[in-house]
Structures are given as structure tokens and as C-alpha cells.
Amino acid sequence: MTTPSLQDAIDKAGSPIQLLWRPGAEPWTPEVVEREYAGWSREQAAWHEGVALLNLSHHMYDMWIEGPDATRVLADHGVNNFEKFAIGQAKQYVPVTRNGHIVTDGILAREGENKYLLSGIPAAQHWVQYHAEQGGYDVGFVTDPSSAFRPGGGDPKLFRYQIQGPLATELVERVFGGPLPETKFFHSSAVSLDGRAFRALRHGMAGQAGFEFIGPWEHAAYVHEAFLKAGEPLGLVQVGALAYATPSVESGWIPSPVPGIYTDPDLLEYRRYLPLFGIEGKRPLNGSYFSEDIEDYYVSPYELGYGKLIHFGHDFVGRDALVKAKDEVPRAKVTLVLDPDDVRTVIGQGADPGFVLSYARHRVENVTGMVGMTMQTASIDPVGALLSLTLIDKECAEPGTEVWVVWGEHPGAGTDPEADLGLPRIRATVRPAPFDQHARTQYRRDR
């Protein structure tokens, strides 16, 4: 039986929107990991005030790219600068379509002269592999899907543990018996623990200090236990799936934007290549903002804050479109701080709503009408607020601007996108993105 493709599903549904629109869809959280270990509030506090352990081993899709043309295929299909990309370094890899819309981003680590590891949700991996195969590049691929999609189940090839927070350095020194090698941000160093070799990636989330340890799965349990044991005197807290999904709101990273692949006739064969049961066909859309046109959900790397990652010193797919769009970016990425009284009234029905997580695209309005849409909303207990990463019209992006978030679900096709559905409004105030000051002022600079 032939596996249905993304294009098969679009044809059957009638449009990309009819395929993806799912009112009330549950927000994604990492698979396999417990939803909570110590409670989401305490877990969030750990990476702000103490030290936290996060398990990334199961929800990352890994693809190794190796061969004489490995650098060339990645550079041809990504905006990044490959002239200064050291072995052991990692970058946020950003592929775009010929029209300048982002496919999605991923973390790209250079493991050798002609070997890379691309990790994250698999949209970027699909993009690179397809174009490598179609373009005749001399390169090979080895993939390890996330645990929810790994054929036949089984363990991942790699473990990934993040140690984050003000006490991260102290914990790491306890585990390894001293400081790690001096390492630049988003670079990695080889480390060893009782004869078990792996790597330490200098990393941080929401502006906090930390490392990501990556190595063969056979060492996973031993390394995990070593961190738990050494972290006990420091009050180490394991972070569950609910809290894990929230630091991106503070750090300003918008996860899983809609790939700009659904409408371009030149990408018809690509959509036929993609399986339906992948991120491109199964990541739902919902919220109070609804459009029949999937292109209204496309975004550019400029809007996501990736302008500094774009290197025009080489040719790549989408370069011409990005050159033209550089000085005409209509929206800016901001953080909305939702009014707590309105949050209690609208979401909590008069009480504290507790934990809130949403990837819904909610309408953002002012007196003139719609001015933006939310991309991710989450409770951030250490700052005592519900925050929403939002793309908003530039004239409304000044910090302190007051807007409203329309909270609720549009039913989708068959109802006018502009219909007044009587959905409640939550007052909100525009703040910078990233919301966290360190992430806003130092994070990109450190890269």
C-alpha cells in the first residue's frame, strides 16, 4: 500500500487550510518525558534561580549529512554563513523557499570537515534531503526520527541532557571533578565521564547559563544518574514536558512556524515527496485568527528575528526574495504581557487559570482592527505573567503599546474569517522580544 503524501492529503481535503485547521487542538509537548516532575511552576523557577535538568533525547529528529558536497548542499539551501563554521560549532540553520518564506529552523552542528548533524523538527531535514537527492549532490544521509515516530520503536541513537540555571556551572564541576574546557557559546567540547566519551555544547535558555550534553545512547542512563546524584545537594529539579515548552516564549524563539511550501507550483513534486504523517501534514492550526489562504500564515526570517543570520555573500535558494524584502518587513516580533485580571476572567473563569500553553494563532487587535497574531502563549511563573510571542504590524510594535488578544476558537471553513463571533478580548501590553533581558542583549551576540 502506497503511503499517502502531503499533496495527496491536500487534494483530498480541498486545500491546505482544510487539512490543517483543527479548532481546540492540544498543544504539542515533548513525548516520553513526564508532564511534570516537581510541578511546572517549580520547574520553571529552577532554571531562573537554581539548576534544572531537561531531557531532549526523545523529541528531536536527527539527520546526519555526510559527503564531499555536505557543505555545498546546506549552503545552497540555507541563509547561513558557512565561511566561518568551525568543527564543533553549532548554528541555527535557516532554509527558505524561493519566495523568501521560512521552511523552519533547526540546529546544525558541524561534526567534521564534510559531516553535519541537523536536529529539530524534521521540516528542515526533509527540505535538505529532497534537494540533495534531486540536485545530484554527492552526499549521504542517516536519520533517527523522534521517539514518537521511530519505526519499530526502540531507543534513540543519542542522549541529550540540558543543565540550565545559575547553579549549572557548579553542578557540572561537581560531576566532572572540575571546570570543563573553555568553550565559546554554541560551540562544543569533548568531555569524558568515567571513560564514557560525549560532547558538551555551551548553551543557554531564556538567558540562563548552561550546557547541553550529547552522546551515544548506551551512556544515557549513567550520565543521567550522575547529574541527578551530584545535583541533589544543589536542589536540582528535573523539568517535565509542560515547563519544557515554555522558555522559548522568554527567549523569543518561535517554534514550528508554518512552512511556506503548500502553494508554490514549483514545489508540487516536493509535496508529493513529503509523507502525510509528518510535521508538514500534522502540525495543526487553530485559534481566533482564521484565513482560507495558507499563505497568510507564512512568515519571513526577518519577522522571526533571523535577519542577522542571513549571509548574502553566497547564492542560495530564496536569496533574491530576501534581498527585495530586506527593507520592507511588515511585522515585528514582540512579547505581549496579558493583563492578569482579564486572564483570570477570560481563561480562569474568575480564578487563577494555572498553567496555560497555546500555539494557537489568536487575533491581536487595536481600535483600527487586526494588527497581528500570536504564535505561542505560555504561563511564565517566575515573572508572574502570561506571555505571548506575537508578530505585529510594525507601527504597533513600540513597547508600551496597548492591544487586545481575541481569545478563543474560530470554527474554520464555512464561517466568515471576519465574523464577530463574540469571543472575549484580553488586554495586553507590547514588550520586547526576547522578553528576557540577557537573551535580548547578549544571546545573538554570543553566537
Domain final residue, candidates 251, 279, 312: 251
CA–CA separation, 136 vs 76, rounded Å? 13
CA–CA separation, 97 vs 318, rounded Å? 5
32 — pLDDT class (breaks 50, 70, 90): confident
- Predicted TM-score of the model (pTM): 0.95
- The confidence score (pLDDT) of residue 437 equals 65
**Domains contained in the chain, number:** 2
Q: Is residue 52 part of a domain?
A: yes
Q: Are residues 231 and 366 in the same domain?
A: no
Say yes or no to pLDDT of 409 above 80. yes
- The confidence score (pLDDT) of residue 166 equals 94
- The confidence score (pLDDT) of residue 152 equals 80
* Range in 63-72, 74-83, 144-153, 264-273 the model is least confident about: 144-153
How many other C-beta atoms can be found within 10 angstroms of the C-beta atom of residue 178? 8
> Which residues span the domain enclosing 48?
40-60+153-251
Q: What does the CA dihedral 157, 163, 164, 165 come to, rounded to 10 degrees?
A: 170
Say yes or no to pLDDT of 444 above 60. no
Q: What string of DSSP letters covers 153-195?
A: ----SEEEEEEESTTHHHHHHHHHTSPPPP--TTBEEEEEETT
* 144-178 confidence digits (pLDDT tens): 999 988 888 899 999 999 999 999 999 999 999 99
Cβ proximity of 220 and 226 under 8 Å: no
Q: Is residue 423 part of a domain?
A: yes
Q: Is residue 24 part of a domain?
A: no
442 — pLDDT class (breaks 50, 70, 90): very low
Q: What is the mean pLDDT of the chain?
A: 94
Q: Is residue 432 part of a domain?
A: yes
Q: Are residues 245 and 344 in the same domain?
A: no
- The confidence score (pLDDT) of residue 93 equals 98
Q: Are residues 54 and 195 in the same domain?
A: yes
Q: Are residues 340 and 440 in the same domain?
A: yes
Neighbouring residues of 428: CB distance < 8 A, sequence distance ≥ 6: 336, 337, 338, 339, 364, 388, 402, 403, 404, 405
Q: Are residues 341 and 442 in the same domain?
A: yes
Mean pLDDT of all residues in 184-212: 88
Domain final residue, candidates 206, 234, 251: 251
Which one, of 354, 438, 359, lies nearest residue 41 by Cα? 354
The C-alpha cell 526533509 sits at 126
CATH number, domain at 214?
Answer: 3.30.1360.120
- The confidence score (pLDDT) of residue 3 equals 87
Say yes or no to pLDDT of 80 above 80. yes
* 91-127 confidence digits (pLDDT tens): 999 999 999 999 999 999 999 999 999 999 999 999 9
* 331-379 confidence digits (pLDDT tens): 999 999 999 999 999 999 999 999 999 999 999 999 999 999 999 999 9
**Sign for the pseudo-dihedral over CA of 172, 177, 178, 180:** negative
Domain final residue, candidates 205, 228, 251: 251
Q: Is residue 311 part of a domain?
A: no
- The confidence score (pLDDT) of residue 111 equals 98
What residues does 358 pair with on adjacent strands?
377
Q: Are residues 335 and 198 in the same domain?
A: no
Q: Is residue 346 part of a domain?
A: yes
- The confidence score (pLDDT) of residue 209 equals 65
205 — pLDDT class (breaks 50, 70, 90): low
Q: Is residue 295 part of a domain?
A: no
Q: What does the CA dihedral 252, 257, 260, 261 come to, rounded to 10 degrees?
A: 150
Q: Is residue 244 part of a domain?
A: yes
